[in-house]
Chains A and B, each alone.
Chain A
């Protein structure tokens, strides 16, 4: 797929996304505010009840800063309304039209996913900016640049990981539970539910080689200054290695799945 076509598909998807105005604004405001409000009350209560000054190396304030960052990052990485698009295409036969196009289905769908980013990217800068203005948190330019690169890697990695699971729709009618399993695993081990420093040492050691931390934890930690270039570089390299490895798996599953495809109707 040419970069020009990729951008055109992303542009069309962005326009399509913005044609639903109510959804656009609800996603922009409610999506973030509701989640952060919940986490604010949970963590304030936990620090107050335990009496601890720090947890996993975080004070209450730095924990809240981390959550602002990780929530904003996760909104971009996971995206909204795209969790089962591929599975739905397979299940309902919408895949037919893409198979006739002289271009890659994987990259077509990924370009659409990129096109859907506009509201969440706006959210990232609006809420992130407001938070920096009205709190003691500081963001460095280098931290922001490293964060953006990590988000780009995490975004592609998440789609690459989700793709073969959704391809299970070639064999099974409903793959929703697999998507939930992916969400839970990535949220837990990726640092979205808790900072990974709260895990026991052995789990942190294992997790350092898995693809999850680079999804949410690394971009958030580098943004709030918890890790620097020395930790960021190997983490991003590991993320790219996982994209290649899982991408190869995608190809195998896609090819085998296509042999099963009936395209709905006889």
Chain B
């Protein structure tokens, strides 16, 4: 449903020297500096798939989404969404997509959400029956029926986001772009939005691209992710494989029984890896994968272990490490 080949976007930004003289000089001469926001990226997204787009601020996630939604033009490359070139902005294309930007309100603030939805019904030419059915379903699942006639600006952030979701999905889009849909929401609202997205995916099978800084969003919603840094993709594959590919260590946690004797010397533990924690109740070690069995055996043999857990490093930390390593390589 979404096919992207060698898509690039370069912005030209003005640079101005600081201070009054810099401002005066900029009245006559302005220096334009190119910034490669997206660098020759390629990807495919299938029907019913939720692709997670992960990257630090300024990595190019939003730029890519904006190109695929037809908002901005690329500098080079090709993209096809439902067989259309997005930036040609055919009405047929725009009737089948939705863009939800968590940082930018799409609804009209001074109007009740119900009025906004009626306008959208007209814009997307949604038949009366379909509109009533979809509004009933979406407002029930998202639990905002009682707020439909409240002015949008008087709603809480969580309620507003739910209204934004309804507005974007009323016309049953086949492709949905979700740019930070849970940003700023409390944990309950985040969970409600995630559950809803999964349910909507089950029901309508749209292709979705999700960008988020919350790893919980990504872990809960996406099986496949693309990691983007400085405009280039550095990973495109299954979320689980990120751990296998990049997580070189595991964390061993030994919960201890009450004891009279002392713990082994710290340097004994350090033979296996980094000691994260060492108390009378618990010992935590970060150990390289090949040495996990050996380290576990040592702990079981030499400590009064009540319980032992071996965990993968969490995905967020792994991705953070990948960014950090690449940054250091670049420097």
Contacts and interface: CB of A to CB of B under 8 A. Distances in A.
Contacts of A258: 73
A22 to B, nearest CB: 14
A265 interface: yes
B52 interface: no
Given A100-B69, A259-B73, A265-B62, A8 B101 contact: no
A16 interface: yes
A99 B111 contact: no
A233 B58 CA distance: 57
Contact of A103 (B92, B110, B123): B123
**Which among B35, B92, B122 has the highest number of chain A CB atoms within 10 Å?**
B122
A95 B69 CA distance: 13
Contacts of B119: 8-9, 12
Size band of the B side of the interface?
Answer: 35 or more
Interface string B67-110: 00111110000000000000001011111011101011010101
B82 to A, nearest CB: 13
Given A100-B69, A102-B91, A266 B11 contact: yes
B11 A100 contact: no
B70 A99 contact: yes
Nearest to A104: B91
Given A19-B110, A102-B91, A102-B94, A261 B37 contact: no
Interface string A234-259: 00000000000000000000000011
A263 B35 CA distance: 15
Interface string B226-260: 00000000000000000000000000000000000
Contacts of B124: 102
Nearest to B69: A100
Given A8-B119, A12-B119, A16-B111, A262 B94 contact: no
B122 A262 contact: no
B8 interface: no
A57 interface: no
Interface in A49-108: 93-97, 99-103
B293 interface: no
Interface string A187-226: 0000000000000000000000000000000000000000
B60 interface: yes
| Max chain B Cβ within 10 angstroms of own Cβ: one of A15, A16, A99 | A99
B115 interface: yes
B71 A261 contact: yes
B104 to A, nearest CB: 6
B62 A266 contact: yes
B118 interface: yes
Contacts of A264: 104
A27 B73 CA distance: 41
A12 B73 CA distance: 31
B212 interface: no
Interface string A1-35: 00011001100100110011000000000000000
B190 interface: no
A4 B122 contact: yes
Q: Which of A19, A101, A266 is most buried by chain B, counting CB atoms within 10 A of its CB?
A: A266
Nearest to A9: B119
Contacts of B60: 266
B182 interface: no
A20 B119 CA distance: 20
A264 B101 CA distance: 12
Contact of A96 (B66, B110, B111): B66
B72 A100 contact: no
Contacts of B35: 266
B286 interface: no
Nearest to B103: A265
Given A12-B111, A96-B104, A100-B94, A263 B123 contact: no
A101 B111 contact: no
B115 A12 contact: yes
Contacts of A262: 11, 72
B120 to A, nearest CB: 8
User: Which of A9, A100, A263 has the most B CB atoms < 10 Å from its CB?
Assistant: A100
B79 to A, nearest CB: 15
Contact of B122 (A8, A16, A263): A8
A266 B122 contact: no
B94 A96 contact: no
A93 B73 contact: no
A238 B132 CA distance: 47
A12 B108 contact: yes
Given A102-B92, A102-B124, A266-B35, 11 more contacts: A8-B118, A8-B119, A15-B111, A20-B110, A97-B106, A99-B69, A99-B89, A102-B95, A261-B71, A265-B63, A266-B63
6 contacts: A94-B104, A99-B70, A102-B94, A102-B123, A102-B124, A265-B63
Interface of B: 11, 35, 37, 58-60, 62-63, 66, 69-73, 89, 91-95, 97-99, 101, 103-104, 106, 108, 110-111, 115-116, 118-119, 122-124, 151
The 4 closest A-B pairs by CB, nearest first: A102-B94, A102-B91, A97-B106, A8-B122
